[in-house]
Amino acid sequence: MLVQIGTLIAATSLVQLANGFFNTFLSLRLTLEDFGSTLTGVVLSAYFIGFTIGAVGSGQVIQRIGHIRAYAAFAGMVVVATAAMPLLVSPLAWIACRAAIGMGCVGLFITTESWLNAKAQADQRGRVFSIYMVGTFLALALGQLLIGKLAIHSTTPFNIIIALFALALVMVSTTRAEAPGIAPEATLRYGELTRQAPVAVVGCVVSGMISSAFYALVPAWMLSNGVPQQTIALFMLVAVLGGLALQVPVGRLSDRGDRRLVLAGLALGFAAAALLLVMLPANLAAVLPVAAVLGGFMSTLYPVCVAHALDRMPADRVVAVSGRLILVSGFGSALGPMLGAAVMSRFDIGGLLYFMAAATILLAAVSGLRVLVKAPPVHVERPFEIIDPLTAPISQEPEATDPDGTPRAVPA
């Protein structure tokens, strides 16, 4: 069982390695293609649009054809779309390809998530989830290192991405793990989550918007201003590692008090780091520590929002709430590159950083106002977890119990 679960986690880490490299690489490649700021923003946003659409329909595909076939179909979609990009170099073609890649990637993540959730025993899910997310962050970080080693004007980066996705497909297709069925999920009416946890909804939109704008546009600006690829890779690597480093301390802090206050503090911390980057000299010794702090605050906004939303909702809505927040974050992620590219075309990188700082200051204000008018919930069912909104995080179901409160065995 552990070998089977390990295979799924290793395959997902390969997918994230490819994704971490692909997102930064495409930002740099679009700078060379010179599609213009508007079309560049749309191409970069297309992935998140596809991701959001796929998050809605992937479950039905998995139910209809099964986990292994679905995984093969989603991986095949990503491989075909990636292979088409160097052959069809045009804005419209790349928009379509990136949307297909987004749909394929979310399908891969949801397939893996439901598979792991069904196979892991109830008392193992926390450890499995932690390994899964640490593997995700490390793979995203390693993906940044590839940026400094490859010629971004060649087809080699596309071929490496294709090879990584194909290898993940081979690993999952040949596993001996029996694919599980998918149980029906509790429904959640539109508007209910916004009424119960408005701070979480606003926070997920802002988190998606600033994260996608940062990862999509900052590398492109650096390349267009003559920053060496190795330096770009180092900057992005430090930001990702900063996100990993702050997960545990922020999680412990949010579990001990009002998560809305923690969220407001993270938002203001991000805004301060963004404004500091505007004022700092172009010196690595000064910029890299701030990049780590910026990445740390940015990567912890989403999981605090999820934990706060789950505090407000019944335990049987865990999966539905998580799925709805992924959609909300995807909406913000789709807006980020388009709005950010428009701002950056007029006000350069300073304008982008001011834009992101303004968004997080707005989030801090909303969080602070809600603290004044609504008492915090009691943290009972769902503690903070390390989550990346674009990996369709594992939904750990509440432990089943018998009427007398005795834990009930969960079938593998």
The H-or-E segment that residue 102 falls in is helix 91-119
Q: How many whole angstroms separate alpha carbon 198 and alpha carbon 56?
A: 21
- Helix segments in 313-396, DSSP class H: 318-373
pLDDT at 362 over 50: yes
pLDDT: is 259 or 191 the higher one? Answer: 259
82-91, 147-156, 226-235, 375-384: segment of lowest average pLDDT: 375-384
Judge whether residue 291 has pLDDT over 90: yes
Q: What was the pLDDT predicted at 396?
A: 45
Q: What is the pLDDT of residues 153-195, one digit of tens each?
A: 899 999 999 999 999 888 888 776 555 555 555 566 767 778 8
Give the three-state DSSP class for 108. helix
pLDDT at residue 74, as a whole number: 93
Give first-to-last CA distance, the chain, whole Å: 9
| Nearest CA-CA partner of 307 in 213, 202, 243, 387 | 387
Element at 24 (helix H, strand E)? helix 2-33
pLDDT band at 38 (very low <50, low <70, confident <90, very high): confident
Helix (H, G, I), strand (E, B) or coil at 401: strand
Distance (Å, rounded) from C-alpha 35 to C-alpha 159?
A: 22
What is the dihedral angle through the alpha carbons of 59, 61, 66, 67, rounded to the nearest 10 degrees?
-60
Q: What is the mean pLDDT of residues 364-378?
A: 84
Give me the chain's average pLDDT, please: 82
Beta-carbon count within 10 A of 326 CB: 28
Between 235 and 123, residue with greater pLDDT: 235
Write out the two tokens for 61: 């595909």
Q: What is the structure's pLDDT at 248?
A: 79
Query: Where does the pLDDT of residue 404 fall: very low under 50, low under 70, confident under 90, or very high at 90 and above?
Result: very low
Q: What stretches of 301-399 adopt beta strand conformation (E)? A: none
Which domains, from first to last, does the chain contain? 1-179 (1.20.1250.20), 187-390 (1.20.1250.20)
One DSSP character per residue, 209-224 reads HHHHHHHHHHHHHHHH
Q: Residue 172 contacts by C-beta under 8 Å, 6 or more apart in sequence?
A: 7, 8, 11, 68, 71, 72, 75
Q: pTM for this one?
A: 0.81
For residue 409, is pLDDT > 60?
no
Query: What tens digit of pLDDT does each residue of 92-128 get?
Result: 999 999 999 999 998 888 887 777 666 655 555 555 6
Is residue 406 over pLDDT 50?
no
* Comparison of pLDDT for 124 and 291, the residue scoring more: 291
- CA–CA separation, 330 and 308 (whole Å): 18
Q: What percent of the chain has pLDDT over 70?
A: 80
Cβ neighbours around 259 below 10 Å, total: 29
On the 0-12 / 13-18 / 19+ scale of CB atoms within 10 A, 409 is exposed
Give pLDDT tens digits for 264-274: 999 999 999 99
d(CA 290, CA 245): 14
How far apart are the C-alpha atoms of 354 and 352, rounded to whole Å? 5
Spatial CA neighbour of 392 closest among 188, 26, 108, 18:
108
